[in-house]
Amino acid sequence: MSLTVDVTDAQARVAEPASVAVIGTGAIGQDLISKIHRSPSLDCRLVAGRNPASAGLRHAEQFGYPVTAAGIDAVLAAGDPFDVVFDATNAASHLRHWALLEPLGTLVVDLTPSRVGQMVVPTVTGVGATTGRNINLISCGGQASIPVAHALANRFPVTYIEVVSTVASDVAGRGTRLNLDEYVATTRHAITTFSGVSDVKAILNISPAVPPATFRTAVHARIPGADVTAVRAAVDPVAEQVRSFAPGYAVTACTVVDDRVTVALQVTAHSDVLPRYAGNLDIINSAAILVAEQHAARRGRTARTEAAR
C-alpha cells in the first residue's frame, strides 16, 4: 500500500531543530549541506570528510558550519550524539560507520547501497514509522524507479521488471564507481521487495556524453493485457507524489507494445550546487532530507507531549 508523504508536516518548524552531521564531502555531501541549510528543522553541527582540501569542506565553511578531516572519528568524539547522521560515503565504509554509530542511538540515514538498514522509498514506505535507527535509501535508480514499479505491480500482474538508469559521468563520483556491484544488487533486491516480482534486472549506465546527460531511468515491465491508458492512470498519481519532495521528477514517455510496458522517467536537480542534469543526486538527497525532517518533527511532538504532562 502506498503511503502519502506529509511534506508539510516534515518541513514544519520545530521548537528545537534536530542536530545533524554529514559524513562525506563529495557532490552528494555538498548538496546535502545546502539542503540542510535551507531546512528550518535541521541544524548542521558537523561536516566530516577525510581530505582537508576537499571542496565539500570549503563549501560547508562558507555556511559557518564546523568541519573536520577526521571523518567518523570526529563524529564519535562529539560531546553529545547527533540526532541524525547522514552517511554519504560508500557501502564498505558504511558497514564500519554503522557498527560505531549504532550504540549512540542516533538516526543514521545511509545514502550508500549498503543494504544494511531499513529500506525507505518515501511514497511507498512512508517515512514516519521506522523499525530501526538505520535508514537505507537504496540508490538513485531505486528512488526513481521503485515508485513506478510498485504502482505497476499493485495494478497489474507483472511478470518481469527491468530498470535501466543513466547518469552523467561527471556526477558519478568515486563512491558510485566503487559501489557498482552493490548498486545493482541493492537496487534489484529493493525492486523485488517493493513490487513482489522475483524476475528483476537493474542496470546503471555512466554516460560520458557532452553535454552531460540528464539523469533518466526507464522502467520496463512485462504485463499481459496492459494498455497505455491504464498504465498512465497508475503511474501519473505516483509521479505527482514524488514531485512533492523532488520537483524535478517527471514521466517523459509511456508506451505499451504487446505485453512490454516502458515508463521513461527523468529527474532534473533543484539544487544550489548541483547542475540540473544531476537529478540522480538530487532525488536521493531530497528523500534523505525528508526522512530527517520528519524525524525532527516527531521529536518535536514528543517533547511537547512530555512538557505538557
Instruction: Determine the pLDDT at residue 79.
Output: 87
Beta carbons of 188 and 162 less than 8 angstroms apart:
no
| Distance, CA of 32 to CA of 69 (rounded, Å) | 17
Taken in order 122, 251, 91, 292, the sign of the CA dihedral is negative
Which among 24, 50, 174, 220 has a CA at the least distance from the CA of 110?
A: 24
CA angle 3, 108, 62 (to 5 degrees): 105
Beta carbons of 7 and 245 less than 8 angstroms apart:
yes
The pLDDT tens digits for 227-269 are 999 999 999 999 999 999 999 999 999 999 999 999 999 999 9
Residue whose C-alpha cell reads 544488487 in the numeric block = 185
pLDDT band at 298; cut points 50, 70, 90: confident
* Residues belonging to the active site: 140
For the chain, what percent of residues have pLDDT higher than 90? 86
Instruction: Determine the pLDDT at residue 157.
Output: 97
Instruction: Determine the pLDDT at residue 174.
Output: 80
> 0.75 cut: is pTM over it?
yes
Which among 272, 182, 263, 184 has a CA at the least distance from the CA of 220?
A: 263
Q: Do you know the residue count of the chain? A: 309
Instruction: Determine the pLDDT at residue 203.
Output: 98
What is the overall mean pLDDT for the chain? Answer: 92
Task: Give the E-state strand segments of the chain in sequence order.
Answer: 18-23, 42-48, 67-68, 84-87, 107-110, 118-119, 134-136, 160-168, 200-207, 216-222, 249-257, 260-267
The pLDDT tens digits for 175-231 are 888 899 999 999 999 999 999 999 999 999 999 999 999 999 999 999 999 999 999
Question: Residue 192 is placed in which grid cell?
Answer: 523485488
Q: In the predicted model, is pLDDT for residue 8 greater than 80?
A: no
Q: In the predicted model, is pLDDT for residue 16 greater than 90?
A: no
Q: In the predicted model, is pLDDT for residue 36 greater than 60?
A: yes
Rounded mean pLDDT of 2-12? 47
Would you list the DSSP string of 209-248? Answer: -SSPPPPEEEEEEE-TT--HHHHHHHHHHHHHHHHTT-TT
Helices (H) and strands (E) in the chain, counts: 11, 12
Instruction: Determine the pLDDT at residue 300.
Output: 64
